[in-house]
């Protein structure tokens, strides 16, 4: 395990479920008596397998996202990684100090003050009293809860409790960090502080990140694990696992009304297409090109309607097919109905390489004001005119979809993850996710 931080082998956890309290006493006494009498012992409980036969490895410095519905076994897995819960079978091996932020208030004694809980939690995580003394001021500053540090934790709000818990694990020099959904209750300023710490931690440490937000998983994680009813449904890149989970959750919502069929991406004939396009951009002085990827896009469909084509064209003067940012463009999404659609919706989202949604739009607002039913066999376009933002260097993908419904309830009949590929090579955008055309940048001396 020289380069392995966490190794999980055939991990299972079974809970005994009793229908009434007296069955516990029966289970404690009667099977022993039955064996002494030469009878086959009876079982007075039902088995519930929270986890079943999980095996995976997390390398040093790797970030793994775990997703799944409530009750899928995520918290049980995290507790066994942290050593607070024993497995029924299998094993978990960890290398280094493990720090965890699990469910709200876990590890805190509500009767103790914040100060007392800091010393108790940090000592459990392996710090000596002298080490805690040296770091206490930094922990208090990170938590930023003021005089409440001397008050019992039972008087804290949920946000204050998370602040203090995260402040402790951020200062114990952990090798493995486990973060559950508890960060969701923090305010925007504190979450930004936590994310800065997590980014620094990822440079050397191993991170297990649990979230229902697939965009956050793609943003933070290299790998993903999807748990479903205690079993590993999928393991792979954060992007592929998140996309599979998204399709599954939508299918659960739709039920038997619409069946989502996976669309497998086809292998591109020219593996070096992006390299050629990049060199072409530089040769012709343009900063961005758009490649149609509709034949190789993954996703799903129900068969009620399909995306036929997607295009991005210029409305401002200039060479067609090349974009700089700041010009007016038109995104056109064309679909065809195989069955009648009462309230058709076409839309798109532009995402960066980490899966973050940068911008997008759909026709829902238009069809809400002007209902436009579509008959089977008809084609229809979603037209979106806008000013293209300036984007930093890299590749971006355009997700497109066709749906039927309203703002409260809708069915995605065709969803394509990577319908267009936008390749950007620019020296203009230097900071942030989106660039702005600054009109003035200068340094002036006020006091001479």
**Of the listed ranges 109-113, 338-342, 369-373, the one predicted with least confidence:** 369-373
What pLDDT, on the 0 to 100 scale, is given for residue 402? 94
**pTM of the full predicted structure?**
0.72
* Residue 133 banded pLDDT, cuts 50, 70, 90: very high
What is the distance between the alpha carbons of residues 240 and 177, in angstroms, rounded to a whole number? 23
What pLDDT, on the 0 to 100 scale, is given for residue 280? 36
* Residue 106 banded pLDDT, cuts 50, 70, 90: low
| Residue 298 or 129, more confident | 129
* Residue 274 banded pLDDT, cuts 50, 70, 90: very low
What would the mean pLDDT of 107-114 be, rounded to a whole number?
88
Is the pLDDT at 34 greater than 90? The verdict is no
What pLDDT, on the 0 to 100 scale, is given for residue 290? 83
Is the pLDDT at 29 greater than 60? The verdict is yes
* Residue 103 banded pLDDT, cuts 50, 70, 90: low
What pLDDT, on the 0 to 100 scale, is given for residue 370? 85
| Residue 378 or 432, more confident | 378
Is the pLDDT at 281 greater than 50? The verdict is no
Q: Model confidence over 141-172: pLDDT tens digits?
A: 988 888 999 999 899 888 888 888 888 988 98
| Residue 265 or 286, more confident | 265
Q: Model confidence over 298-320: pLDDT tens digits?
A: 888 899 999 999 999 888 887 77
Is the pLDDT at 427 greater than 90? The verdict is no
Which ranges in the chain are annotated with CATH 3.40.50.300? 4-245
Is the pLDDT at 246 greater than 90? The verdict is no
What would the mean pLDDT of 126-139 be, rounded to a whole number?
91
What pLDDT, on the 0 to 100 scale, is given for residue 431? 66
Is the pLDDT at 55 greater than 70? The verdict is yes
Which ranges in the chain are annotated with CATH 2.70.50.60? 258-424
Percent of the chain scoring above 90 in pLDDT = 32
What pLDDT, on the 0 to 100 scale, is given for residue 331? 92
* Residue 268 banded pLDDT, cuts 50, 70, 90: very low
Q: Model confidence over 60-87: pLDDT tens digits?
A: 999 999 999 888 889 899 889 988 889 9
* Residue 401 banded pLDDT, cuts 50, 70, 90: very high
**Of the listed ranges 177-191, 273-287, 358-372, the one predicted with least confidence:** 273-287
What's the mean per-residue pLDDT of the chain?
A: 83
What would the mean pLDDT of 338-361 be, rounded to a whole number?
88
Is the pLDDT at 219 greater than 90? The verdict is no
* Residue 386 banded pLDDT, cuts 50, 70, 90: very high
Task: Choose the CATH number for 4-245 among 3.20.20.140, 3.40.50.720, 3.40.50.300, 3.40.640.10.
Answer: 3.40.50.300
Homologous superfamily of 258-424 in CATH? abc- transporter (atp binding component) like domain (2.70.50.60)
Is the pLDDT at 361 greater than 90? The verdict is yes
What pLDDT, on the 0 to 100 scale, is given for residue 190? 77
């Amino acid at each position: 395990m020289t380069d392995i931080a966490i190794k999980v082998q055939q991990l299972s956890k079974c809970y005994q479920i009793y229908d009434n309290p007296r069955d516990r006493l029966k289970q404690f006494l009667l099977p022993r008596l039955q064996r002494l009498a030469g009878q086959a012992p009876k079982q007075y409980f039902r088995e519930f397998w929270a986890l079943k036969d999980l095996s995976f490895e997390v390398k040093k410095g790797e970030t793994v996202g775990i997703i799944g519905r409530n009750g899928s076994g995520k918290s049980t897995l995290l507790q066994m990684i942290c050593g607070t819960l024993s497995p029924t079978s299998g094993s978990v091996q960890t290398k280094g100090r493990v720090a965890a932020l699990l469910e709200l208030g876990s590890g805190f004694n509500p009767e103790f003050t914040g100060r007392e809980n800091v010393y108790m939690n940090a000592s459990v995580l392996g710090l000596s009293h002298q080490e805690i003394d040296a770091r206490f001021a930094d922990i208090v500053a990170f938590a930023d809860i003021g005089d409440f540090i001397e008050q019992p934790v039972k008087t804290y709000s949920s946000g204050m409790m998370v602040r203090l818990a995260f402040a402790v694990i951020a200062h114990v020099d952990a090798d493995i960090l486990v973060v559950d959904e508890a960060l969701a209750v923090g305010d925007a300023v504190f979450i930004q502080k936590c994310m800065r710490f997590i980014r620094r931690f990822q440079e050397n440490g191993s991170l297990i990140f649990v979230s229902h937000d697939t965009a956050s998983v793609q943003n933070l994680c290299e790998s993903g694990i999807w748990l479903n009813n205690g079993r590993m449904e999928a393991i792979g890149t954060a992007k592929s696992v998140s996309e599979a989970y998204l399709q599954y959750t939508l299918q659960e919502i739709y039920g038997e009304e619409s069946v989502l069929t996976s669309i497998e991406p086809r292998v591109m004939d020219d593996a070096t297409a992006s390299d050629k396009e990049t060199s072409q951009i530089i040769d012709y002085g343009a900063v961005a090109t758009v490649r149609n990827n509709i034949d190789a896009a993954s996703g799903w469909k129900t068969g009620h309607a399909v995306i036929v084509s997607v295009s991005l064209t210029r409305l401002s003067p200039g060479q067609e097919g090349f974009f700089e940012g700041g010009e007016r463009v038109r995104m056109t999404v064309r679909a065809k109905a195989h069955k009648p659609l009462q309230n058709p919706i076409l839309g798109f989202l532009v995402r960066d390489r980490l899966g973050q949604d940068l911008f997008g739009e759909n026709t829902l607002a238009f069809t809400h004001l002007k209902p436009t039913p579509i008959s089977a066999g008809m084609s229809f376009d979603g037209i979106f005119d806008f000013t293209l933002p300036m984007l930093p260097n890299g590749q971006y993908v355009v997700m497109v979809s066709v749906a039927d419904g309203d703002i409260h309830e809708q069915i995605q009949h065709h969803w394509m993850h990577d319908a267009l590929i936008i390749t950007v090579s620019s020296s203009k955008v230097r900071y942030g996710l989106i660039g702005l055309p600054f009109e003035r940048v200068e340094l002036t001396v006020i006091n001479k």
